């Protein structure tokens, strides 16, 4: 019997992983916020995955953090700002050999969780898969993509990657996961805040090419300064390519703001500006972008961090 995957957070990505693992016969348990959410989940009779208009419901067992069973493998699938508190509630249940897979976008939350659990192995992930919820306990698989996993302190790939293979989750073990996370952070910093400020789809940033280029130059400087030169390579071209390839899409930050949801700003642009300050690097356009974005969030009644 293979090790059970505990999935923390029944949101978009948590459900996308839980349903595919369950479909492959991998043992999965879903950790819900509290008894009320558990009761609601049990009434719904499972998790539904909608793929190309076809839906399937999977009977994944639900539980709360108070359940007594030890956790050996934990997929942390909540937002970056919730990760530390959510993991803290499970600390007593983590087995001495526990492994955590951290799916959070941006940077900062992974190190915070790893520092909280010095005995556990924390594997960082960066995913280009796309999913959204179209109802409670339902997720729509909106964009096929890839997930890179890696452990900066320990280059050996875990054997359980076989479970991902069986579940049809496209993935690769990455020996440079921090470079990937920094690169994605830089892309997100160059694109997402501007889509919020200009209230536009990604493609409309083609009309703001100079501003994008200036931000890319500053982000490149930051990456070099933070010891991530590989993440800086040809950044502007990649940003332009992504803007073109996702022209019709609204960025994730745009979608959060439009839906009145808290953003992950502190783990994206906020993290970049803090890193610049730590290195005494003056990046005026990036800093100004953060000021403008925070103003916009506050004007909409959303948290500044
Ligand atoms: P989401 O908001 O859909 O899901 C997060 C879930 O975690 C929510 O259901 C929330 O209730 C739950 N949660 C929070 N605290 C909890 C706790 N203490 N106990 C139990 N559950 C708790 O978020 P998402 O879109 O799945 O994103 C998760 C992470 O993955 C984010 O960092 C996001 O940027 C990243 N990501 C998302 C996508 C996507 O397509 N959705 C793609 C790539 C990366
Ligand atoms: O990841 C993205 C997002 O919307 O968060 C892209 C599409 C790369 C835009 O930054």
Could you read off the pLDDT of 42-78 as tens digits, one per residue?
999 899 999 999 999 999 999 999 999 999 999 999 9
Q: Strand, coil or helix: what is 124?
A: strand
At residue 189, does pLDDT exceed 90?
A: yes
**How far, in Å, from the CA of 207 to the mean position of ligand 1?**
32
What is the spatial distance between Cα 2 and Cα 72, in angstroms, rounded to a whole number?
Answer: 11
Residue 174 has pLDDT above 90, yes or no: yes
Q: How far is the CA of 101 from the centre of ligand 1 (A)?
A: 13
CA gap 6, 234 in Å, rounded: 39
ipTM of the complex model: 0.98
Q: What is the pLDDT of residue 32?
A: 98
Whether the pLDDT of residue 1 is over 90: the answer is no
Cα–Cα distance, 124 to 126 (Å, whole number): 7
Question: CA separation (Å) from 193 to 29, 183, 213?
Answer: 36, 16, 14
Write the residue with the smallest CA distance to atom 1 of ligand 1.
11
CA angle, residues 271, 273, 274, in degrees to nearest 5: 65
Return all residues near 31 (Cβ < 8 A) that are at least 6 apart: 6, 7, 8, 9, 62, 63, 64, 65, 67, 90
Dist CA 123 CA 156 (whole Å): 11
Distance of CA 59 to the CA centre of its chain: 25
Is pLDDT above 80 for 138? yes
Which residue among 6, 8, 9 is best mutated to probe the pocket of ligand 1, counting the most ligand atoms within 8 A of its Cβ? 9
From the CA of 42, how far away is ligand 1's center (Å)?
A: 20
Catalytic-residue membership of 184: yes
Considering 45, 79, 89, 184, which one is annotated as catalytic?
A: 184
How far apart, in Å, are the Cα atoms of 280 and each of 156, 218, 222, 285, 301?
35, 13, 10, 15, 31
Q: Give per-residue pLDDT as tens, 95-105.
A: 999 999 999 99
Residue 60 CB: number of other CB atoms within 10 A?
21
In ligand 2, which atom is closest to the CA atom of 246? 7
d(CA 140, CA 138): 7
For a pLDDT cut of 70, what percent of the chain falls above it?
100
Which of 184, 252, 258, 259, when mutated, tests ligand 2's pocket best, judged by the most ligand atoms within 8 Å of its CB?
A: 252
Say whether 122 sits in a helix, a strand or coil.
Answer: strand
Per-residue pLDDT band at 233 (split at 50, 70, 90): very high
pLDDT, mean of residues 277-297: 98
Tell me how many degrees the CA angle 122-136-7 measures, rounded to the nearest 5.
20
Calculate ∠ Cα 138-139-143, nearest 5°.
170
Ligand found nearest the CA of 185: 2
| Mean pLDDT of all residues belonging to the chain | 97
252 CB near ligand 2 (under 6 Å): yes
C-alpha 106 chain-centroid distance: 7
Confidence of residue 136 (pLDDT cuts 50, 70, 90): very high
CB 208 within 8 A of CB 214: no
Measured CA to CA, the distance from residue 55 to residue 15 in angstroms comes to 13
3-state class percentages of the chain: helix first, strand second, coil last, to nearest 5: 50, 20, 30
Say what the pLDDT of residue 116 is: 96
CB of 258 closer than 8 Å to CB of 298: no
- Measured distance CA(14)–CA(299) in Å, rounded: 31
Phi/psi class of residue 86: alpha, beta or left (left: φ > 0; alpha: ψ in -120 to 50)?
Answer: alpha
CA of residue 254 relative to chain centroid, distance:
15
Ligand with minimal distance to 267 CA: 1
According to the model, what pLDDT value does residue 128 have?
95
User: What pLDDT, on the 0 to 100 scale, is given for residue 45?
Assistant: 86
Beta carbons of 76 and 57 less than 8 angstroms apart:
no
Q: Tokens for 102?
A: 């951290």
Please tell me the residue having the least CA distance from ligand 2 atom 1: 188
- pLDDT average, residue stretch 213-237: 98
């Amino acid at each position: 019997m293979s090790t059970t995957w505990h999935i923390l957070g029944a949101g978009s990505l948590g459900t996308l992983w839980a349903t595919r693992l369950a479909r492959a016969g991998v043992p999965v348990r879903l950790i819900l916020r509290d008894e009320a959410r558990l009761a609601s989940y049990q009434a719904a009779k499972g998790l539904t995955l909608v793929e190309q208009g076809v839906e399937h419901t999977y009977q994944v067992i639900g539980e709360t953090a108070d359940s007594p069973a030890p956790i050996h493998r934990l997929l942390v699938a909540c937002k970056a700002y919730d990760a530390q508190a959510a993991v803290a509630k499970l600390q007593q249940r983590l087995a001495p050999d526990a492994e955590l897979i951290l799916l959070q976008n941006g940077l900062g939350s992974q190190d915070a969780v790893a520092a909280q659990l010095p005995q556990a192995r924390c594997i960082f992930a960066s995913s280009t898969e796309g999913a959204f919820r179209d109802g409670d306990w339902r997720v729509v698989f909106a964009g096929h993509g890839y997930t890179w996993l890696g452990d900066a302190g320990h280059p050996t790939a875990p054997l359980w990657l076989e479970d991902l293979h069986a579940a049809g989750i496209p993935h690769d073990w990455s020996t440079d996961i921090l470079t990937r996370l920094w690169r994605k952070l830089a892309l997100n910093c160059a694109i997402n805040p501007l889509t919020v400020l200009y209230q536009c789809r990604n493609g409309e940033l083609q009309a703001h090419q100079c501003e994008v280029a200036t931000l890319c130059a500053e982000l490149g400087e930051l990456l070099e300064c933070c010891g991530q030169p590989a993440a800086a390579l040809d950044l502007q071209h990649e940003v332009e390519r992504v803007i073109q390839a996702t022209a019709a899409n609204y960025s994730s930050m745009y979608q959060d703001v439009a839906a009145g949801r808290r953003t992950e700003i502190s783990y994206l642009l906020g993290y970049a500006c803090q890193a610049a300050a730590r290195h005494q690097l003056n990046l005026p356009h990036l800093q100004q972008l953060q000021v403008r974005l925070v103003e916009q969030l506050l004007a909409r009644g959303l948290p500044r961090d």
